[in-house]
Structure 1
Amino acid sequence: MKHSHILPLAFCIFFLTLVILVQARHHSHHTKHKHSHSHKSCKTPKPAPPPSPPHNENYNNASGILDVRKFGAIGDGETDDTGSFKMAWDSACQSESAVNVILVPQGFSFLIQSTIFTGPCQGVLVLKVDGTLMPPDGPESWPKNNSRHQWLVFYRINGMSLEGSGLIDGRGEKWWDLPCKPHKAIRFFMSSNLTVQGLRIKNSPQFHFRFDGCKNVHIESIYITAPKLSPNTDGIHIENTNDMKIYNSVISNGDDCVSIGSGCNDVDIKNITCGPGHGISIGSLGNHNSRACVSNIMVRDSFIKVTDNGVRIKTWQGGSGSVSGVTFSNIHMVSVRNPIIIDQFYCLTKECTNKTSAVSVSNIIYTNIKGTYDIRSPPMRFACSDSVPCTNLTLSDIELLPSQGDIVHDPFCWNAYGDLETLTIPPVSCLLEGTPQSVLDYDITRC
């Protein structure tokens, strides 16, 4: 009987021990498995090998730089490299990279014919000119099937930088004596978010830079040169362009350093060295009875030397619209023929007739303008329309002395209304007070 009780008890102990051993083994196996899995997840996976680029994209290296020579450009100054530049542009424009750099390398001169570089592009483009760009040498070398009205055009670009330490040589000498208007050098048309920086540009046949229908443009540290007698070689001309900044640049040419046409507003020009040439101009505006609207223009902290004009506003009779909200501030002048001028009777011939309509000129500020003037003309000239006089002209801290002799010439005023906030040299006693009824009745709301 005693053994009958012991056997079931021993069997139960054996069974319990077996269960415990099995569970312990299972737990140990499960813990090792979890640890092993966690260790694998912390390892850095090996990167997949980069796919081989297609044959037509192997010009683009890891840094996103496309050297035009790898597209076939020679750069000897004689071979036509237009096709190679177009291929480089198309490759960069179609690339999905955020930024693509087209490199014009140092030590090479690339000949390019009249060309339009078209957008929009996938990302931001940088045309980095460290070498030299040039057009064909004169009209006889220009291809017969190409337009002679423009050279390099950038059209519908959103996000582009034209920069570098190189030279753009317009080779304009053989164009200047032609009776017809030759081509403009570089034109940006209907484009936005643009930067032009660091370049040297010389001897354009006509305008060096032209911006039409553009927005958000920043020009910084460029150097433009052309002979004093080269015709219509404006440094920078803008039309229908908003939010324009031109900073820290030198412009020496045969026409306006900067010319501001119709449809421009929010333009800031700062630290410009201008001259020789025709100075900094708003206009001409209102030609052929057109409507012109210009507003919110600032020209400041600049140096103008040996120019025909200093700061000028010029309009044709018969036009309409307005120029308003313009400030000329902190400008030093040396031997400038017409330092301060408003000319609402602008005309290129002697056959212009008097007309009743005009582009309104109002709210113009001149402050801290000092230096010397050429004694052939009065230092200040406000020639305003008979029917639409200039109004709200404000002058302060003006000191203009003759560059030769001791006689200080009197300013000239015609239908000019404004105020003197401080005494000026020479005194401006010809400004009229108040606002004439003809201006109060003039409708400028169309701007």
Structure 2
Amino acid sequence: MGIARQLLFICVIFSLSNVEGRTHFHKDKSKHTDKGTPVGLPPESESPADPPIPSDPNNPCVFDVTSFGAVGDGSTDDTEAFTSAWKAACAVESGVLYAPADYEFTITSTIFSGPCKPGFVFQLDGVLMPPSGPDCWPEGDSKKQWLVFYRVDGMTFTGSGTIEGNGEQWWELPCKPHRGPNGSTLPGPCDSPALIRFFMSVNVEVIGLRIQNSPQFHLKFDGCEGVLIEDLSIDSPALSPNTDGIHVQDTKYVGIYNSMIANGDDCISIGPGCSDVDINNVTCLHGHGISIGSLGVHNSQACVSNISVSNTYIKDSDNGVRIKTWQGGMGSVAGIRFENIEMDNVKNCIIIDQYYCFTKGCRNETSAVYVSDVSYKNIKGTYDVRSPPSYTLLPAATQSHVQI
């Protein structure tokens, strides 16, 4: 099959997949709840006045970054090529930004803004990575995030490629201590960038990618609605600090399915403002397990509801399934279901910790996040002999109800 026919086939397939692929968690919400644009994010982009030029005139929906000047040699800065291809693909219906296999693309901290035309796809089949370490990070670029997708309603991020975070040098920065081999303490991250962030977007999908060695969180969703994550592979060392696999906050209608996460912090973390999250058939390796929270820090209000975790395997982890709240917080955690979960050599299998604190000096408070309607069913496996299989810390001021 010739290159032109292959790209046409890609275009047609993605057009079909975008019609059929959003049935579970993508509710019909045509308007955003406008929280304002935070510092560092641009206003919504407008479509270019001139029609975009496709990579191949016979395939008007596919925009290959190499046709926009991307070199893909692992060292050349390809940011401009990616942003140009983004603008072109974003401006046409069923547009595909295509980063082909057998290339290693390097781009700097970038905000990809919508809105885009319906059916937009970012297909990564090669390797995409940031500059290698803080010393190579461009002066003036945000050190808190690398790739940001902002107001990209209906976008699919997919492909057979790899997102390489080049996180090793970030983990060694002398700012935050973390555990090392044989009980030692090693330095950790300062302002380390989260690798991928979706912000204020509706009906987005992340499917089939491999994400590894993030400087900080691998994948974040903030202020989103309707998120599907499937067939994802996340891989970072067990001792890499603060490398949460998937983090969601202020986000609802989320499905996380059929994925493998090996990292150094929470496998999946669910922050304040989340509801209707379904996690099924996920494997978590050598991290901190699946966590709801932490919630209520600095006397804040946090609400989380309708969370389901099922058919999940957790191995060699500090924790299994955990709810963690700060003293003095407000709000509620309700409607939590943990079912059919197997654990292998997990230190703390089941935790509800309402005295969550980084130090030993946190004082007791009279208020706390209210925890209710939590159930555990068919939780089995082996645990680390240093800790009991079930562990809870519930302050007397909180009327928590847990059913096991």
- 1:94-135 per-residue CA deviation (whole Å, 9 max, x = no partner) reads 22x2x1111110000000100000011122211111000000
What CA distance in whole angstroms lies between the structure 2 residues aligned with 1:66 and 1:271? 34
Select the residue among 220, 236, 245 that pairs with 2:255.
Answer: 245
Structural mapping, 1:293-372, within 5 Å: 293-372=303-382
Q: Which amino acid aligns with 1:81?
A: D
The equivalent of 2:37 in structure 1 is none
What SS does the corresponding residue of 1:267 show, helix, strand or coil? Answer: strand
Contact map agreement 1:207 1:233 (CA 8 A) in 2: yes
The equivalent of 1:197 in structure 2 is 207
Select the residue among 261, 269, 277 that pairs with 2:287.
Answer: 277
Select the residue among 53, 57, 67 that pairs with 1:57.
Answer: 53
The equivalent of 2:86 in structure 1 is 89
Select the residue among 165, 168, 177 that pairs with 2:163.
Answer: 168
Q: What is the alpha-carbon root mean square deviation over aligned residues?
A: 1.1
Pairwise CA distance, 1:93: 1.3
The equivalent of 1:72 in structure 2 is 69
- 1:177-235 per-residue CA deviation (whole Å, 9 max, x = no partner) reads 22113110000000011110111110000000000000100000010000000000000
Aligned pairs, number: 339
Contact map agreement 1:325 1:364 (CA 8 A) in 2: yes
Contact map agreement 2:340 2:379 (CA 8 A) in 1: yes
What CA distance in whole angstroms lies between the structure 2 residues aligned with 1:358 and 1:303? 31
Computing the radius of gyration over CA atoms, which structure comes out larger, 1 or 2? 1
- 1:44-93 per-residue CA deviation (whole Å, 9 max, x = no partner) reads xxxxxxxxxx7851435444111000011000011000000000001111
What CA distance in whole angstroms lies between the structure 1 residues aligned with 2:312 and 2:302? 26
Q: Which amino acid aligns with 1:284?
A: S
Q: Which amino acid aligns with 2:134?
A: P
What CA distance in whole angstroms lies between the structure 1 residues aligned with 2:344 and 2:62? 45
Pairwise CA distance, 1:381: 1.0
Pairwise CA distance, 1:385: 1.7
What CA distance in whole angstroms lies between the structure 2 residues aligned with 1:128 and 1:238? 23
Higher helix share: 1
What SS does the corresponding residue of 2:327 show, helix, strand or coil? Answer: coil
Q: Which amino acid aligns with 1:80?
A: D
What SS does the corresponding residue of 1:353 show, helix, strand or coil? Answer: coil
What CA distance in whole angstroms lies between the structure 1 residues aligned with 2:55 and 2:233? 31
The equivalent of 1:142 in structure 2 is 137
What CA distance in whole angstroms lies between the structure 1 residues aligned with 2:305 and 2:336? 7
Contact map agreement 1:124 1:158 (CA 8 A) in 2: no
Structural mapping, 1:124-139, within 5 Å: 124-139=119-134
What CA distance in whole angstroms lies between the structure 2 residues aligned with 1:246 and 1:55? 37
What CA distance in whole angstroms lies between the structure 2 residues aligned with 1:291 and 1:350? 23
Query: What runs of 5+ residues in structure 1 fail to find an aligned partner?
Result: 1-53, 396-447
Select the residue among 81, 87, 95 that pairs with 1:100.
Answer: 95
Matched, 1:289 2:286: no
Aligned residues: percent identity?
Answer: 57
What CA distance in whole angstroms lies between the structure 2 residues aligned with 1:277 and 1:381? 18
Greater CA drift, 320-329 or 373-382: 373-382
Matched, 1:115 2:110: yes
What CA distance in whole angstroms lies between the structure 2 residues aligned with 1:117 and 1:243? 23
The equivalent of 1:14 in structure 2 is none
Query: What runs of 5+ residues in structure 2 fail to find an aligned partner?
Result: 1-49, 176-189
Select the residue among 161, 172, 176 that pairs with 1:177.
Answer: 172
- 1:227-266 per-residue CA deviation (whole Å, 9 max, x = no partner) reads 0000000000000000000000000000001000000000
Contact map agreement 2:95 2:117 (CA 8 A) in 1: no
Using CA pairs below 8 Å that are at least 6 residues apart, which structure has the higher relative contact order? 2
Select the residue among 263, 267, 277 that pairs with 1:267.
Answer: 277
- Taking structure 2 as the reference length, the TM-score comes to 0.83
What CA distance in whole angstroms lies between the structure 1 residues aligned with 2:212 and 2:118? 30
What CA distance in whole angstroms lies between the structure 2 residues aligned with 1:362 and 1:381? 17
Select the residue among 376, 386, 392 that pairs with 1:376.
Answer: 386
Poorly superposed stretches of 4+, deviation over 6 Å: none
Q: Which amino acid aligns with 2:332?
A: S
Select the residue among 381, 395, 403 that pairs with 1:394.
Answer: 403
Q: Which amino acid aligns with 2:226?
A: N
The equivalent of 2:234 in structure 1 is 224
- 1:332-354 per-residue CA deviation (whole Å, 9 max, x = no partner) reads 00000011110000000111000
